A and B are shown apart, each in its own frame.
Chain A
Amino acid sequence: MRDLAFIAFLAAIFSLGFRRPFIFVLAYVYIDVVSPQRMSYFLLNAFPISAMAVGFAVLSWLAFDDKKDTRVAPRQGLMLALLAYCYWTTTKADFPIDAAFKWDWVWKALAFAIFLPLTLRTKLRIEALLLFMLLSVATIIISGGVKTALGGGGYGQLKLFVDNNSGLFEGSIISAVAICVIPLILWFTRYGTIFPPDWRVKTFGYALIFACLLMPVGTQARTGLLCIGLLAILMLRDVKRRMVYIGGAAALALVAIPFLPTAFSERMGTIRTYQADASASTRIAVWQWTLDYVKTHPFGGGFEAYRQNEIKYDKVETVGEGASITVVRTPEIDKSRAYHSAYFEMLGEQGWPGLILWLMIHLGGIVRMEVLRRRYWKAPPDQAWISPLATALQHAHMIYLFGATFVGIALNPFVYMLVGAQIGLDTYLARKRAEEGMKPMHKRRDSPAPAAA
């Protein structure tokens, strides 16, 4: 039954795509995030729906889309360079078969991110892309949120449609992504035009935010809690009454604590006593191994290079109370331990050049969004949506990159869609300024400095 529903849905979306080819781009976004073929038992997993969507998207863009004044941002060039570099490291990878498997999805994510901004020629397309990303990821988040609220969940226990812990269906990844999309949801509750922000949109938006906040509880992923902390700090930038906000957030946290499952509170407590936790201790040991590895392999070991690691570390626990407290060190050995950090993932697999390219792509996005945020801070009412959108995209990216410190999500397709949306907004605004011969930044020099900038 579910298969037939998916087929009917995809058939409807694809048929709309033949009327409006940009919808093929949205179809690819949906398929990449939700992976309906993985939830399907027959029919759907027999068709290469993802390849079909991207094929139609590229062909229809080539054949029909207006390419007048098409702009290419430097970050698209950087992603192309990273793509070529990753190909080169894959050809000389330490584990060629495993590396080829990862390359198979990485190149698609990067290639789509390079292509995506070329299609984002109108404001409505940028909004549509973000809305499709949100509603697609909401499929996983709402399901997880409802199950958590009903008492389900647990570390590695929360059932999110598919059990194979891949893509966005892995607990730590979906926790970080769920928190990173909150700024975008808030933007839609104020500036959306596809669904103008009435009481229904606001109710759905706030309910979705609540589900997002429940994801770290349901998955018991510590990364998610840290991301919530960063979100709370970032939101301070734009709130009008900061002391009221801080007081409200603190009160909310205090009220929420009694409702949190004990298992969640205990696991979050291990953030402070991370040395006693095998998961956290091995991370630090793997990071140390990676730093040693790149001393002899500065160009990295190709995808999946971590498989060769063998780490020894001491699990440190304090036993007893008061004067009889003792520190117990238990030697542990682990093999083929994953990086558990996007930064070390890039360093170990792609070496220093890969890490530098990757950092330039992502930090460049944060800087560009800050430029747009300030440039359009005092924009006229018809451009009032721009600065908040740049801010939302920037905050989403910062939360993702913060979560990426503890999860190996360096090349996750979702963040490259976010990067694509940032570049699309940037090039769209550059085109607009060129068309109108207007530079709001110059106009604003006479106006007072923004209060929260």
Chain B
Amino acid sequence: MIDSLVLGLTHGLLLLTAWRLMNNPALDDESAPPANEAPRSRWGRKRA
């Protein structure tokens, strides 16, 4: 029971880490624009 809960917790966090890394261009190239910068619309406003 304890083992299963711990496996679920740490593996969930590992998966979340990998997911965040996949969406972060700085993983491979630090000069790339940051991922959390929201894409701008044609009018220069940040999209929600």
Provided the pairs A122-B29, A124-B26 are in contact, do residues A139 and B4 lie with their beta carbons within 8 angstroms?
Answer: no
State how many angstroms separate the Cβ of B24 from the closest Cβ of chain A. 6
B10 touches A16 (CB 8 A): no
Provided the pairs A2-B4, A142-B10 are in contact, do residues A16 and B18 lie with their beta carbons within 8 angstroms?
Answer: yes
B10 touches A20 (CB 8 A): no
Most buried by A among B3, B9, B18, B24: B18
| CA–CA, A125 and B9, complex, Å | 22
Residues from chain B with a CB closer than 8 A to the CB of A132 are: 14, 17
Provided the pairs A124-B26, A128-B27 are in contact, do residues A26 and B18 lie with their beta carbons within 8 angstroms?
Answer: yes
State how many angstroms separate the Cβ of A446 from the closest Cβ of chain B. 28
| CA–CA, A122 and B7, complex, Å | 29
Is A206 part of the contact surface with B, judged by Cβ < 8 Å? no
Neighbour of B28 across the interface among A22, A138, A143, A161, CB < 8 A: A22
CB-contacts of A158-177 with B (<8 A): 161
Q: Secondary structure at chain B's binding surface: helix, strand, loop or mixed?
A: helix
A20 touches B27 (CB 8 A): yes
State how many angstroms separate the Cβ of B7 from the closest Cβ of chain A. 6
B6 touches A146 (CB 8 A): yes
Residues from chain B with a CB closer than 8 A to the CB of A22 are: 21, 27-28
CB-contacts of B17-38 with A (<8 A): 17-22, 24, 26-30
Is B48 part of the contact surface with A, judged by Cβ < 8 Å? no
Neighbour of A124 across the interface among B8, B14, B15, B27, CB < 8 A: B27
| CA–CA, A150 and B7, complex, Å | 18
Is A19 part of the contact surface with B, judged by Cβ < 8 Å? yes
Residues from chain A with a CB closer than 8 A to the CB of B20 are: 194-195
Residues from chain B with a CB closer than 8 A to the CB of A123 are: 26, 30
Provided the pairs A139-B6, A161-B3 are in contact, do residues A13 and B26 lie with their beta carbons within 8 angstroms?
Answer: no
B27 touches A135 (CB 8 A): no
| CA–CA, A26 and B27, complex, Å | 12
Is A405 part of the contact surface with B, judged by Cβ < 8 Å? no
Is A147 part of the contact surface with B, judged by Cβ < 8 Å? yes
Residues from chain A with a CB closer than 8 A to the CB of B3 are: 143, 161
Neighbour of A135 across the interface among B17, B26, B29, B30, CB < 8 A: B17
- The residue in chain A whose Cβ has the minimal distance to the Cβ of B7 is A139
Is A23 part of the contact surface with B, judged by Cβ < 8 Å? yes
Neighbour of A16 across the interface among B4, B9, B22, B28, CB < 8 A: B22
Residues from chain A with a CB closer than 8 A to the CB of B15 are: 9, 12-13
- The residue in chain B whose Cβ has the minimal distance to the Cβ of A143 is B6
B7 touches A5 (CB 8 A): yes
Residues from chain B with a CB closer than 8 A to the CB of A186 are: none
Residues from chain B with a CB closer than 8 A to the CB of A138 are: 10
Is A30 part of the contact surface with B, judged by Cβ < 8 Å? yes
Residues from chain B with a CB closer than 8 A to the CB of A9 are: 11, 14-15
State how many angstroms separate the Cβ of B46 from the closest Cβ of chain A. 20
Neighbour of A2 across the interface among B7, B9, B10, B17, CB < 8 A: B7
28 A-B contacts (beta carbon < 8 Å): A5-B7, A12-B18, A13-B15, A16-B18, A19-B22, A20-B21, A22-B27, A22-B28, A23-B18, A23-B21, A30-B14, A65-B28, A66-B28, A122-B29, A123-B26, A124-B26, A124-B27, A125-B27, A135-B14, A135-B17, A136-B10, A138-B10, A142-B9, A143-B2, A143-B3, A147-B2, A194-B21, A195-B17
On A, residues with C-beta under 8 Å from B are: 2, 5, 9, 12-13, 16, 19-20, 22-23, 26, 30, 65-66, 121-125, 128, 131-132, 135-136, 138-139, 142-143, 146-147, 150, 161, 194-195
Sorted nearest first, the 8 A-B pairs with minimum C-beta distance are A139-B10, A143-B6, A124-B26, A142-B6, A16-B18, A124-B27, A20-B22, A135-B14
On B, residues with C-beta under 8 Å from A are: 2-4, 6-11, 13-15, 17-22, 24, 26-30
- Knowing that A23-B21, A66-B29, A128-B21 are A-B contacts, what are 4 other residue pairs whose CB atoms are under 8 Å apart, sorted by A's residue number? A2-B7, A16-B21, A139-B6, A143-B3
